[in-house]
Structure 1
Amino acid sequence: MTIVLITGANRSIGLETAKQLSAKGLFVYLGSRNLTKGEAIVKELNEQGFNNIKAIEIDVTNHESVLAAKNSIEQEHGKLDILINNAGILGTQPQTATETSVENIKEVFETNFFGVIHVTQAFLELLKRSESPRISNITSGLGSLTLHNDPNWKYYQVKSAAYGPSKTALNAYTIVLAHELKDSNFKVNVIDPGYTATDFNHHSGPGSVESAASFIIKHTLTEDDAPTGQFFSNDIEDETGISPW
């Protein structure tokens, strides 16, 4: 059975991704900082017919929490096939370059950037035991420097001094990680689910969580000849879905 861990999966896109993967027959660990809340959600999912989902406590900013989650999955399954680094925070708004506090920027980076590194490095041992390991780092179109520098981009006016740069840094880390693992059977990519209506943005996005989750899954459940080290975006209007960095 294919074993999946999704961080920050107790709501919105992460939760919908867990549901869709479970429906496909994969076993999903639903990562949640609060285990009680995670277990309550899994109970609801079980009642809806999703039986191959289990809540697991994981705070990506806490090294001990990450290691405990890794040890639990190792004891129960001995491997991990898919890691979806989905946990993220927006940070205090607004985020102007001249007034956003360094503390706010550090807090956002701690989850969105350093948290991904903590989790990825901790779980690499289990991923290497998989025949087809996949790492999908969930990013944002706001992490694209090329698009941010294009006045014709539809979100050109949306600038942030903490959230956007944290995703740009994540993109850069993913390129390095994918290159390091390029001669193995790993596929490592960043995936932007698009501007989606969620609690994260007060439901202001035009996209649905169903579409966002389907896009993540499309570029995660890939064949052995699929690309690695790519930036896929649900907001890119061509068949490749490839976004400029």
Structure 2
Amino acid sequence: MDSEFIKLGIFYWEKDSRKLFTKNKGENGKYHESSLLTQKQFDLLNCLLDSYPETVTKEKIIEQVWQTKHISSESLPQLIIRTRQVLKDKKKAVLINEPGIGYRINLNEEEEQENDIENQTIESDFVNPLNEPRMQSSIVSLTKKNLNGSQFSNVHNASFLACIIVLIGLALFQSINMVSAIHYKVIFEDFVHSIPYPYITQKSDQTIITIENNECIYNKDKSLLNCS
């Protein structure tokens, strides 16, 4: 391996840059640029590489990468996750977490993702005639399971939708009742705090109401006001 490149899983990292490369198989294989690290990912790898093979504490990583000691508790874990995604480090074999301490970089672990894919392809291409009936039976079984699963999913979705509609109806009903209650409350408060008409007098069995210096007689039985 060329001295300017560092093997990280299935990639080769050019240490002085943020570039990741892949390499053709064979002695004369050439490097091909594959992806680009962000500045934070680049700083993280440099921080871990400077202390290799030792584990770097979380506090030291935060101080070196963010240039501060005060960051969100999720910032470092999120950076580790995104860096693993870029490196295709699904097995977490390149960036290793040491619980309660920090993280370290592993340069000796060879990512076997490409070999696994090739082996799976070879196995899938080779079909044993003796196993063909068993394979067909498995396919039929899987098909039935998928159909049953889809039917269950449809029933579940319909039930969930019905529950949502009922809840929306109840919420609307409660809202209407609340508006009605507020309306009658306002009317009641206006009635309680209303000021009686001051120009009403009682003479014998008659109720006299004075309106603009005119005396009107109120007939209670007919609910009639006579101002003639």
Fold shared, TM-score > 0.5 on shorter chain: no
Return the structure number with greater helix share.
2
Query: If you compute each CA radius of gyration, which structure gives the higher value, 1 or 2?
Result: 2
Return the structure number with greater strand share.
2
Task: Give the alignment's TM-score, normalised by structure 2.
Answer: 0.26
Bigger relative contact order, structure 1 or 2 (CA pairs below 8 A, ≥6 apart)? 1
